[in-house]
Amino acid sequence: MNPGVAYAALAYLCWGLFPLYFKQLSEVPALEVVAHRTLWSLCFVALLLTLLRRWAWAPAVLRQPRVLGLFLLSACLLVINSLAYVWAVQHGHVLEGSLGYFINPLINVALGFAFLRERPRPLQWLAVGLAAFGVLWVTTQTGRAPWIALIIAFSFGFYGLVRKTAPLGALEGLTLETLLIAPVAAGALAVWTVQGHSAFALGEPLRITWLLLAGPLTAVPLLLFAAGARRLPLTTLGLIQYISPTMQFLLGVWLFREPLEPARLVAFACIWAALALYSLEGLWTSRRAAPTTLGALQRSSE
């Protein structure tokens, strides 16, 4: 097996199991969970960078306001995404959370067109249209837009857009993001602890252990993903990424027994069809381009 496939699959398997973790913290407010994720992730990645002796980038970056601004923006988007997802799991909306991550690849197509001057192919536009129809359908049938899914999809889509233009790698970028918002997280946790509202103040060892695990559980999948992404074409990575929302969907239906109303099922069907079209179109395009590229290389070597 290609090591890149193994790394990427492990990352998405970890993300797919996140609902099981966040359910253990259902009595801890989502904002506090996100604060713990931020603080303990920083401790974990800082220790990792120290062991690897990879702090050389920091002094130069800390003197560049534009780079700091970019990573502050990406950190805020990551907080919004994390807060929406944790809240969704804790309040019985695992299915809607998975819907957000199913929509996300198609949001990326639209964002690439709007901000990076990318030109999606006709079948890619058709896939985006199918997904939009699914969202519109569930909105009109239930009288409520799937706000949680949309917040998750757009926040992670914009996060990817910002990180695409930022100069640091996955480990260094995550370190800087958490470093920039860690003072706010630490301050909030300190205030809640003094007021007697935080998990630390209540002093339940098991709950505190779960919260401390947020650091490695947040950072390790991101590092596995980065290792996989460097070794795989985007088409392959795009197919593997559906492991995570599929697992979340199955957990929501069969383990957490969330209702799957007909309107929501139609929306999922539209988005699954859109993703199938998007993935097959990407595979077809890459295979069609491969002989052309090989022929060009052969001609250049003659």
Has residue 301 got a pLDDT over 80?
no
Task: Return d(Cα 291, Cα 140) in angstroms, integer.
Answer: 46
Instruction: List the domain boundaries for the chain.
Output: 3-297
Q: Could you report the per-residue pLDDT of 238-283, keeping only the tens digit for each? A: 678 888 999 999 999 999 999 988 888 888 999 899 888 887 887 7
* Angle, helix 94-115 to helix 122-142, in steps of 10 degrees: 140
Nearest to residue 149, comparing CAs of 279, 286, 249?
A: 249
Average pLDDT taken over every residue of the chain: 87
Q: Could you report the per-residue pLDDT of 192-213, keeping only the tens digit for each? A: 999 998 988 888 899 999 999 9
On whether the CB atoms of residues 160 and 108 are closer than 8 A, the answer is: yes
pTM of the model: 0.87
On whether the CB atoms of residues 242 and 102 are closer than 8 A, the answer is: yes
